[in-house]
Amino acid sequence: MRDREVDMEDRELIARILRGEEVNRCLALLMEKYRVLLFTVARRMLGGRRDAEEVVQDTWVIALRRLPQFDPGLGKLSSWLCGITIRLCLHVWRKRKRVARSEAAERCCCLDSSPGPEERHEQLVWHERLWLVLSGLPRLWQALLVLHIQECWTYQQLAKAFGFSERHAKYETNRALAAAQHRALELGLAGWR
């Protein structure tokens, strides 16, 4: 029941934007509601705060332009917005020649609390292992694993975000996981995940 209420709120805000009623206010409400989700997805995929902020801004520009095409009957607004964000992140990845090691170290967290020196060291070691394993995989598989493992996305959420069937999302995610496990064994990295 709660999900339907949220969906109805989104639908009403979208309808008002499309009718030209209080566009700035309605858009601001949607942006505030999904700000953290979109930023977290972009930050996890790209690593850098600045890149993530730019992708989130671009997401809203594209979403506003394509809002008349959004069909609430096909899925949630959050999934549709995350799909736009993910595609923009993939575009950024294609443009990058390689990720600097210092940026890779930043990918590990959007943590609210400040960890102690030991926790921070453990996070960095774990993070370095994770990204060493993922760096040898195709970008699509990297994105799937980051969202599935770190963000706990379901196959259904992945399917909607990437434009796959749920079965294909499960298939690609499992292939990515098997490839990551194989790569971790090759590198001799226990506890990469």
| List of domains in the chain | 1-97 (1.10.1740.10), 108-193 (1.10.10.10)
Nearest-angstrom CA–CA distance, 10 and 72 = 9
pLDDT given at position 149: 79
Residues 6+ apart with CB under 8 A from 153: 147, 161
Q: What is the DSSP letter of 107?
A: T
Asked if 13 contacts 26 with a C-beta cutoff of 8 angstroms, the reply is yes
pLDDT given at position 111: 42
Low pLDDT (below 70) residues in the chain? 1-8, 94-117, 119-127, 190-193
pTM strictly above 0.75: no
Q: Which amino acid is at 189?
A: L
Question: Taking each helix axis from N to C terminus, what angle separates 23-46 and 2-19, rounded to the nearest 10 degrees?
Answer: 120
